[in-house]
Amino acid sequence: MIPESLLIGKIRRFLPEDAGLKKGIGDDAAVLPLDKKHYLLLAVDTIVDGVDFRMAEAKPEHVGRKALAINLSDIAAMGGRPCYALVALGIPADLSYFWIRRFYAGIKKLAKEFNTAVVGGDLSRSKEFFASVTVAGEVEKNRVVLRDGAKAGDSILVTGSLGGSLAGKHLTFTPRVREAACLVKYFKISAMMDVSDGLMRDLDVLMKESGKGACVFTDSIPVSRACTLKKAFCDGEDFELLFTASPAEAKKILARKEGLLGTPVQRIGMVTAKPGIYFKEKETDTKVFKLSWKGYEHF
């Protein structure tokens, strides 16, 4: 199987885009016309036993929570508000009703927290359990943020901390919906996505969509407690917001001592006109180097 990024690119070129789309394949969510003031956002993600979680180890409530949360994170990355969700399940023959009920309890609790109504779905027989969730949201047209707007000289910022999510956080994280709403309401954000496949891979995706490169300051990476720098770059499943803004806007964001609604924000680098991801140990260093680390690839 070819790498996921190449496969997405081939599918993207093969499928024609509707002229009415604001954005189709290539972002965290599709962006479609809704009314004079809003766009409709559509996001879908699938989690599979043995790939995204292990049923023998994870609580059903946490699996349900993650199935919905990763989609809410995609809506957040567009600056939007989630509204409705559809849940499709592939169910092994020996899976009990009580497990499924607890799974939906996890979805129900998170959906209530973010005012998202579960309005339908589908059930099918499957050898391995999987859950595929589709979320519809909305965003004001003047606040939508895509991946392709980063400009040379922009600051690169990230919320929260990175790395170590596979130890459990990937099942219990809170999607940054409120933080994203704060960003697009009070600041001008040029590009944004969520960190799902690792900072190393997702930053590369963000820069390629914008036709730019990046210089990252390794001493500025917000590494999670009891974690390594490499894991912060490569682990994935952090679901933090990775975004860019002009130096002036970044300064305003960083001036907020409370961060974004209590969530810390860190400047980790700057956008460059030269393609590729390069590194400095400190921003003031003159020595630039590259790292061979990679983020998560599904194939």
Structural domain total, the chain: 2
CB 244 within 8 A of CB 189: yes
19 — pLDDT class (breaks 50, 70, 90): low
Distance from C-alpha of 99 to C-alpha of 37, rounded to nearest angstrom: 42
Q: pLDDT > 70: what percent of the chain? A: 98
Q: Are residues 184 and 131 in the same domain?
A: no
> Is 147 contained in some domain?
no
Q: Are residues 91 and 166 in the same domain?
A: no
CB 94 within 8 A of CB 54: no
| pLDDT tens, position by position, 174-224 | 999 999 999 999 999 999 999 999 999 999 999 999 999 999 999 999 999
pLDDT of res. 299: 61
**Among 32, 48, 49, which Cα is nearest to 40's?**
32
User: Which domain-ending residue is among 113, 140, 167?
Assistant: 140
Identity at 8, one-letter amino acid code? I
Q: Are residues 174 and 58 in the same domain?
A: no
Spatial CB neighbours of 58, under 8 Å, sequence gap ≥ 6: 171
- What domain range is 198 assigned to? 155-280
CA atoms within 13 A on the CB side of 139: 29
CB 163 within 8 A of CB 235: yes
> Is 289 contained in some domain?
no
> Is 263 contained in some domain?
yes
Average per-residue pLDDT for the chain: 95
Inter-axis angle of helices 60-77 and 97-113, to 10 degrees? Answer: 30
CB 71 within 8 A of CB 133: yes
Q: What angle do CA 175, 176, 179 make, to 5 degrees?
A: 160
